[in-house]
Amino acid sequence: MALADLAIRETGSADQNPVTLTEIATGQFLSLSYLEQLFGKLRRAGLVTSVRGPGGGYRLARPADTLPIADIVNAVDEPIRVTRCMEGGPGCMHAETGLGEGACASERCRTHDLWHELGRQIHLFLAGVTLGDVVAGRIVGRAMPVLSKSAAADTVKSDAGRPVELVDSHLAAG
């Protein structure tokens, strides 16, 4: 991730020189022209600032610990979609119907809600992780399990009001 390079170089030094896109392109094995497009979007979104002239380059516009990864993904117009459906689009089951040019079936597939919710979970996860978390290695263990309906049904409140998971007696004995 190109912004991780900026964050790493800025850590511990406020007077660090701006980072050039050539340095990032070399370190990340990315095309310079691709980075120029991305950083234009990041600058317009207020996530990075640019310094012109000799010794110029880019800096983060705010501390890495305040920059959610979701903001970066949104700024570069790279939405994370796990379904073919788009808002206002033809639907998952977009297919020619044989009813004439441009006619199509516009319905959701049976698993649409599953994939749509997965996309929402990815976005929520990325909204809760900052660039500072990535650079500091604070990612592992961040995913939160979702309590399934069956697990919720097997959970009761103890006398103290804390949830207690019920265990089958034959499982507890073994």
pLDDT digits (tens, 9 = 90+) for 21-73: 999 999 889 999 999 999 999 999 999 999 998 888 999 999 999 999 999 99
- Kindly report each contact of residues 145-151 with a partner whose C-beta sits within 8 Å and lies 24 or more positions away, as own/partner: 146/121
Find the helix packing angle between 32-44 and 2-10, rounded to 10°.
Answer: 70
Please tell me whether residue 60 adopts helix, strand or coil conformation. strand
15-24, 67-76, 100-109 — which is least confidently predicted? 100-109
On the 0-12 / 13-18 / 19+ scale of CB atoms within 10 A, 162 is: exposed
8 Å CB contact between 42 and 48: yes
Mean pLDDT of 75-83: 79
pLDDT of residue 137 exceeding 60: yes
Percent of the chain with pLDDT over 90: 41
pLDDT at position 141: 84
166: pLDDT confidence band, cut at 50, 70 and 90? very low
Average pLDDT, the chain: 78
Domains and CATH numbers, the chain: 1-63 (1.10.10.10)
pLDDT at position 1: 82
Q: Which residue has the higher pLDDT, 28 or 105?
A: 28
CA distance 143 to 85: 26
Measured CA to CA in angstroms, residue 12 lies from 15, 47, 101, 114, 130 at distances of 9, 19, 61, 43, 17
Q: Which residue has the tokens 């796990």?
A: 82
CA distance 142 to 113: 24
8 Å CB contact between 82 and 111: no
19-23, 62-66, 148-152, 169-173 — which is least confidently predicted? 169-173
> How many beta carbons lie within 10 A of that of residue 36, not counting itself?
11
pLDDT at position 90: 59
pLDDT of residue 86 exceeding 50: yes
| CA dihedral for 24, 26, 28, 32, sign (positive or negative) | positive
Q: Which residue has the higher pLDDT, 161 or 41?
A: 41
